[in-house]
Structure 1
């Protein structure tokens, strides 16, 4: 049907009627109509396009006959169709070149490198799916910005009053979990629930806070056991024990059913068991719910009502959500061909260095918006997150996918001042002043070039923020496109070099030099820090309750994952250990590029240089993975350690966080065999991620005997 519709559009753009095309084909109008409805064979298609006689029709005829062996056939409406055609043809050229039994090892290694780069670029460009991820501290206003940017409003005509958002918005501590919004064919909600074990653990923490807080034998040291406010609200509603309204001055406090229930029990265990039973988790097994109607306005209201009920624990069929996927029957990226998903992450509570946020940042198809209040942009949590990912990741394009959003409220823009002391002349002028300040702040902490935008969800056109997001995605795609075109040029140069003795001599010279470099640098320098130092440092800095909550979950808490920090600490050290070597490799390539006698090898050297960051990133990611794998089971299963760390919370015996860090350090000090195993894996990852790919590319790798089909 897509092809048929395209045929009709081509006919109309040629200024022809179906009758006129039929006459040119010596056919009847009925047959032309069938062809445009997709009911025609290859001969009919060729005859139809020939009858149109336009350049566009000739191009379509060529595309229709083209075979796709390496990439899936793209849609004829794909915005990068012409580039994908070039990539497919480039892959054909490389494959035919490799199938020639006369290809030398030197050129075979280069061809394999180019083939891999073309495949990766083609696969990236073929997909039009991208994410925009909102990250921000609690109460910053990011969910409202999400709703405005994505059109998640009840009525666009009145959306500027911010009262008709389709997601649950408020002054902070509203959303329970990550919310992913996708386009589909209907309004629907899909809930990935929190495990029953975690739900009961949260109940236990909530009950402990209430029970010990009201007990006559309450501990003298005041500590925080209860879960976050939004989680407590949902648990209470699920148990039928809602929080009382906040007392107003001069008005007696309302009764608290949870505290009244606690007073009827002698033990915390019995109280917790009763509240847990009231959740009726065995009945809350529903995962998906759809809107059954067809009216769009009614669907928007249904989605808002249902989402709020699930998010607040007031829907009898759903448990505590761990992630909610919202499906809406309209595009989230207006004015473009991109299939956009929008992710509203759970509000940052203390630290943005969370496993879920780091995963979003590493996604090469995602644009992440770090949202800050106007006065603090970029706020401390955003700055700390930027520093962390810069230290622990080798993806040189990661920071290009991150932007800062200064969220304004009424009067913020006009409160700004120029350096002269003069006020802005208009809101746009105030935005420019603010963005200049944000850029200065980013530059001071080493992040010059990170994009920023100012946005007020109330009066500003949501198209402004939507356009900013699409521009960032376009920049990501254009970089891939430029890489693909450069690789195609390198393929052509490689084939031309095969027949030139001087060019082959230049390639042999640089390949031999790079091969010697690889042999000299098979061994990494010794690490300066042990892999767990980053973890122990952060144990002493995070909120005590956050650390305690992690110890009760054997190190895996949503807001503090011990193993994430072990992996990231190892990754940071791996990046430091590899950076001097990769800098040396880049220096050699730069020197060779400046040598006129090696000019014939310039394209090859440029491709090697382009691959170095990818090899290094692969190494760092592999090391992060291995660190978690090595320490995951031994540390996660040491219940004695976790019980020992948990037991000190609230006792008043010294600094709790320092005590936990000391106990964990003793544990790590006693596990040298694990450290040795990790170092063996690090060394092997260096060889497989960097040294072997380099040697393969220059034609002397041990993996070069790959069967070419």
Structure 2
């Protein structure tokens, strides 16, 4: 078998070693078969030496297992798609996609009608995108929940990041845990060669603003001024800043007394932080340490999280690196994300980013007694308003976290204590489903899984929950496998039928039906509304301290981002305006799928629906992006932020709203509202309807 060296994947040495060990062969056995020194085999397996074609064949022949023979066949050239890892569970489906694309490129004849060529182009694009998704084994599991629900404790237990010999429950977790407000920022747990920590530091500008807010709040409290407090710095961040500055509450009070000028205190405090000395971003475990790796990780994380490590500044995000064996429950390249706790405002950029990420499973955490709590309900409601059915169906689940004996103390419908934890969980699951029913009734086929985990209970096995999460990821990938297989089948049918008259007649009738549909929606204005109204509504529900922090940062803060809310509403508007057309085409295709004479086009119809959803989602994402971008250049330089930040006295939030609403309604801004509506309408025509029109005779005649 002639294998070009360029077809050899970078992990061939590792794979050969795994195959050898699985066959219970020694390096010496392989060396003897290849007639080389054992050190030569060792260098190949460590990736220090690229084996020749003959060595690969001889190595795998010496192993002599079915898996080794499969690997040899796997090394055949890939001409179109990127070669997946050999351990990729979808490698067979991906190879079918590779061969299908080759045939599609070769067998669609030059004299084929433009309509068939348009189909081929659509299929080719879909296969490449679906294959790209499945080729990667990287996925994230993001835990989202309010402050104090037990999210971080659950993450530690579920990933095995606990001190095995520690009896005190609160001291078992590697990450800092408590009754809430303990972890200072988002934490990501990643696999690596050895224990380590990487820190993404906050910018100096953001640290300066934090210090100014912190000092202003402390100064007001010290002077007995409760009316205009700036409580925008979280408790955990206040603790970190004090530790970095080497201050205790008493010494801070003394420092405040020494600074009679409002501008002096932040400057003095910044000096104490010694930021120029705190530039380190990465640290690794040294095996010569007298601590075990897990002990070192716990202690070092605590030092950084509490601001007590002299080399690290204020963290924006902390990556905790752990050996691969922590992730034994999965073949995926997983990262586990413990998001910063929700503090009243759930519509945040980081949270929406995870929910919108096609490779991320989002675990919505609630207290057992409150599930789903208000913040989680708001996130689900926002997804529905934004037309994110696929997200809800494939990438979201709810994790209810009982604390202590909450579940065991639950009463059943007869008013009697439950007989078991399982009974309590089943009753709570029914209760959650009842709460969600009004929210989900407008979306068919949505069943959000609801699971339970009590980190203190010996009955709740972490491995069982981990398996549930991996099963959800398996199902997510299976949905892509099914779509890829469907597209490959459609390609095979297209190639087979390209010269069959009955197939051409069926395609022609589908084309005519699509033309009629497009006639109803082409160049028809969309009913769009102003996006700032939702921003005002959200502000009315947001704490005044949060609004003040946003005003001081020209509209952008992680807890409340003005531009994010404008974009979020633009997407919601776009979904509401196009929803009738979206479901209208689905109904049209459903009806055509029941016509026997259109049977040769059934695969084509299925692909139209699949692509229709993709085009529509791309359109909604564009609406969201343009909703942010159009107002940003004018808003970010506006006087409005300084005016709002300078406001004092009671009713701060209402004063800000009173200033912002007329700014958006001002005739000077009307061109921005009109421009946004025009861009969304143009995107609807170009990104969705024009793509559909390509699949009609009319759409292809001019190509």
TM-score of the superposed pair, with normalisation by structure 1: 0.90
The answer to whether 1:204 aligns with 2:212 is yes
Kept in 2, the 8 Å contact 1:532–1:570? The answer is no
* 1:80 Cα deviation from its structure 2 partner: 1.8
Show the counterpart of 2:244.
238
Structure 2 residue corresponding to 1:92, chosen from 102, 115, 134: 102
- C-alpha spacing 1:236/1:489, structure 2 compared with 1 (3 Å): same
Matched-pair contact (CA < 8 Å) for 2:196–2:283:
yes
Shift of 1:381: 0.6
Cα distance in 2, alignment partners of residues 265 and 56 from structure 1: 74
Find 2:124's aligned residue among 111, 115, 120: 115
- Indicate the residue corresponding to 1:658 in structure 2: 654
Counterpart check, 1:280 vs 2:290: no
Distance 1:192 1:553, change over 3 A: same
Q: For residues 409 and 704 of structure 1, do their structure 2 counterparts lie closer, same or farther at Cα, with a shift above 3 Å needed?
A: farther
Residues 502 and 175 of structure 1: CA distance in aligned 2, closer, same or farther (over 3 Å): same
Cα-Cα RMSD: 2.7
Deviations 1:438-494 (A, max 9, x none): 222222332751111010112232112211211111110111111111111111111
Counterpart mapping for 1:418-433 below 5 A? 418-433=412-427
Worse-superposed segment, 287-296 or 180-189: 287-296
Q: How does 1:393-412 map to 2 (within 5 A)?
A: 393-394=387-388, 396-412=390-406
Deviations 1:607-646, CA, capped at 9 Å, x for gaps: 10112221111111001111111101111111x2112222
Quick one: structure 1 residues 558 and 28, their matched pair in 2 at CA, closer, same or farther if it must change by over 3 Å?
A: closer
* Structure 1: runs of 5+ lacking an equivalent: 244-255
Residue 224 of structure 1: CA displacement?
4.0
Aligned to 1:648: 647
Q: CA deviation at 1:28?
A: 5.1
3-state SS in 2 of match to 1:673: helix
Q: Which residue of 2 aligns with 1:42?
A: 53
The match for 1:250 is none
Residues 1:84 and 1:276: Cα distance change in structure 2 (over 3 Å): same
375-384 or 525-534, which deviates more: 525-534
- 1:153 pairs with one of 149, 162, 166: 162
Helix, strand or coil for the counterpart of 1:347?
A: coil
Asked if 2 retains the 8 angstrom alpha-carbon contact of 1:395 and 1:614, the reply is no
Higher deviation after alignment, 665-674 or 74-83: 74-83
Corresponding position of 2:10? none
Give the equivalent residue in structure 1 for 2:16.
4
Label 1:659 to 1:335 Cα distance change in 2 as closer, same or farther (>3 A).
same
**Structure 2 residue 192 is the aligned partner of structure 1 residue 184:** yes
Structure 2: distance between partners of 1:9 and 1:81: 22
Calculate the TM-score normalised by the size of structure 2.
0.90
- Alpha-carbon distance in 2 for matches of 1:673, 1:695: 31
Residues 675 and 444 of structure 1, relative CA distance in 2, 3 Å threshold? closer
- Map of 1:230-629 to 2, 5 A cutoff? 230-243=236-249, 256-293=250-287, 298-394=292-388, 396-446=390-440, 449-459=447-457, 460-629=460-629
Give, in whole Å, the separation in 1 of the partners of 2:508 and 2:601: 9
User: Are 1:332 and 1:340, in contact at CA under 8 Å, matched by a contact in 2?
Assistant: no
Give distance in 1, aligned partners of 2:571 and 2:432.
Answer: 29
Contact 1:202 1:227 in 2 (8 A): yes
Give the secondary-structure state (helix, strand or coil) at the position aligned to 2:591.
helix
Q: Distance in 2 between matches of 1:229 and 1:47?
A: 63
**What residue number does 1:675 align with?**
673
CA distance in 2, matches of 1:595, 1:383: 42
- Taking the TM superposition and a 5 Å limit, the aligned residue runs for 1:668-707 are 668-670=664-666, 671-698=669-696, 700-701=698-699
Report how far residue 41 of structure 1 moved.
3.8
In structure 2, what is the Cα distance between the partners aligned to 1:115 and 1:315?
A: 53
**In the superposition, relative to structure 1, how do residues 333 and 53 fare at CA in structure 2: closer, same or farther (>3 Å)?**
closer
Match of 2:6 in 1: none
Q: Indicate the larger mover: 319-328 or 417-426.
A: 417-426
SS in 1 for 2:489: helix
1:151 Cα deviation from its structure 2 partner: 1.3
Shift in Å at residue 696 of structure 1? Answer: 2.6
Q: Deviations over 1:313-363 (max 9, x none)?
A: 111111111111111113443322111101011111011110110001001
SS state at 2:292 partner = helix
